[in-house]
Amino acid sequence: MSNVFVIDSDYKPLNPVHPARARRLLTQGKAAVYRRYPFTIVLKRVVDQPEVHPLRLKLDPGSKTTGIALVNDTNGNVVFAAELEHRGHAIKDSLDSRRGVRRRRRNRKTRYRKPRFQNRRRKKGWLPPSLESRLATILTWVARLCRSAPITALSQELVKFDMQLMENPDITGVEYQQGTLQGYEVREYLLEKWERTCAYCGKQDVPLQIEHIHPRANGGTHRISNLTLACEPCNSAKGTQDIAVFLAKKPDVLKRILAQVKKPLKDASAVNATRFALLERLKACGLPVECGSGGLTKYNRTTRGLAKTHWLDATCVGKSTPSAISHKGVVPLLITANGHGRRQMCVPDKYGFPEKHKQRRKTFLGYRTGDMVKAITPKGTFEGRIAIRHRPSFRLGKVDIHPKYMRCIHQADGYEYTQKGVRNAPPHV
Ligand SMILES: [Zn+2]
C-alpha cells in the first residue's frame, strides 16, 4: 500500500506516513479516518509549525489515462501514485446520441426552418466538452492532493519531443543512437513523423532502426531531415545504396518518402491543445510548474530502470526527476471518472418509446447511486458502489441488499476507485 495522507485538525497537510504508523495512530485514538480514497487520516490536534518535506506532484496527461505521482525530490521516494481514467469518450458518445435524438425530433415535429449558419461564436480558449472534462478531472485531483499533502511544485509532460534540442545542430550531429537524451528526442520525433512504420515496406510493430536516407558512406549527414525509420531487413538490404537506386522498382514509395522528408518539423509535431490549456490552468494554481517532453520522460524511465506504466511515466516527467527512484510498496490507486449521473427523467426503450420515469430525488434512505458501502449481511460481506432503487433494497454488484446492513465508506464523488495489486504491467520498453 502507498503512504497514508495526514492532515491536522486545522486541515493543514502534514507529511504522509507509513500505513503501520497510521494504523497505530488510529488504534490509539489519536487520529480518525478523514477520507477513504485517497486514504487520509485527520489528527485530533493542531500541529504548530510542522516540519514538512515538500513534495512534487507530477502528471503525465494522456487521452484515456493520466498518470499521477507524488515524489520527494530530495530522496527520490514515490509517496503516492494514481492512474486517472478519463471519461472523454463517454461524453462524446452521449453528446452524439443527444444530437441524433434532437435531429430526429426536429425533423418530425417542426416546420421548415432555414438552416442557421455560422451565427454562433465560441469563447476564446473553448475546448470541446470531452477535452474540457479531461482537464477538469485532472485539476480536481491536483486540488484534492494539494489539500492532503504538502505539495510545493508541479511537473507536467507538455510535448512529445523537444524541438529546440533537435534543431540545435551541435546535438543532432552526435551520438543519436547512443542512448543520450537527444537520441530519445530524435527517436520519439521520428516515430511520430514516420507513424511508427518502416518507411520502405510499411511494416508495423517490428523493431525499427534509424536509417539514413542519403547514406552516411556517401556523405549523408545526421540531420533530422536525413533520417527515417526502417525495419532490420530493409535497413540491411538498403545498405549503402542511394535511395533512388534502392527503390528503383517502387517509384511510388520513393515519391512518398521524399515528400514526407520535406514536411517541415512543425507539421509533424501535432500540438496538443489540451496539454497547453492544462499548463495554463496549472499555472493559475499558483505553484511553480515544470514542463518536460515525452523523450525526456522515456530517457528518465529507461535510465532508472522502470517499467512502462502511466504512473511510472508520471514519476519520470521533467528535469527535476531524482537520479534514483524508489517506489517500493507503492501500488497505484486506479481512479475511474464516472460522472455524476444523468438528468434524464425519462428512460426510453431501444426504440425510443418512453418506458420508465425517474424520480426527481437523487437520494433514498440517505444513500445515493455511486456511494461506496460495506454491507455485512447474514449471507456474507459485500463492498462496492451501490445503485439506489426506490425500494428498500439497493443494487450492490449483482445482489440486492437492504440498506440496514450497509455502512457508507465513501460518498459518491463521481469517481470509482480500485486498489488491488499492480495491474499487469506491460514489459519493459
Ligand atoms: Zn521494412
Task: Give percent helix, percent strand, percent coil of the chain, each to the nearest 5.
Answer: 30, 25, 45
Condensed to tens digits (0 to 9), the pLDDT of residues 243-270 reads 888 888 888 888 888 888 777 655 434 4
Confidence of residue 313 (pLDDT cuts 50, 70, 90): very high
What is the average pLDDT across 86-108? 89
Bridge partners (DSSP) listed for residue 356 = 347
Give CB contacts under 8 A, 24+ apart, made by 396-405: 401/375, 401/377, 402/377, 403/365, 403/366, 403/367, 405/375, 405/376, 405/377
Ligand 1 centroid to Cα of residue 179, in Å, is 23
Ligand 1 centroid to Cα of residue 254, in Å, is 13
Ligand 1 centroid to Cα of residue 216, in Å, is 19
The percentage of residues in the chain with a pLDDT greater than 90, rounded to a whole number, is 40
Bridge partners (DSSP) listed for residue 209 = 230
Cell 530519445 belongs to residue: 184
- The dihedral sign for the CA sequence 421, 334, 37, 276: positive
Ligand 1 centroid to Cα of residue 260, in Å, is 16
Ligand 1 centroid to Cα of residue 201, in Å, is 4
Task: Judge contact between 365 and 354, C-beta under 8 A.
Answer: no
Condensed to tens digits (0 to 9), the pLDDT of residues 135-177 reads 999 999 999 999 999 999 999 988 776 666 655 544 444 444 4
Give the per-residue pLDDT at 190: 82
Confidence of residue 196 (pLDDT cuts 50, 70, 90): confident
pLDDT over 90 (residue 397): no
- The dihedral sign for the CA sequence 9, 14, 19, 21: negative
Ligand 1 centroid to Cα of residue 305, in Å, is 29
Give the per-residue pLDDT at 260: 81
Give the per-residue pLDDT at 272: 67
In terms of DSSP bridges, do strands 40-43 and 5-7 run parallel, antiparallel, or are they unpaired?
parallel
Grid cell in block for residue 79: 509517496
The percentage of residues in the chain with a pLDDT greater than 70, rounded to a whole number, is 90
Nearest to 38 by CA among 85, 8, 79: 79
Condensed to tens digits (0 to 9), the pLDDT of residues 9-67 reads 999 999 999 999 999 999 999 999 999 989 999 999 999 888 999 999 999 998 889 99
Ligand 1 centroid to Cα of residue 293, in Å, is 28
Give the per-residue pLDDT at 277: 87
Ligand 1 centroid to Cα of residue 9, in Å, is 63
Ligand 1 centroid to Cα of residue 241, in Å, is 15
What is the average pLDDT across 327-350? 88
ω into 38 cis (within 30 of 0): yes
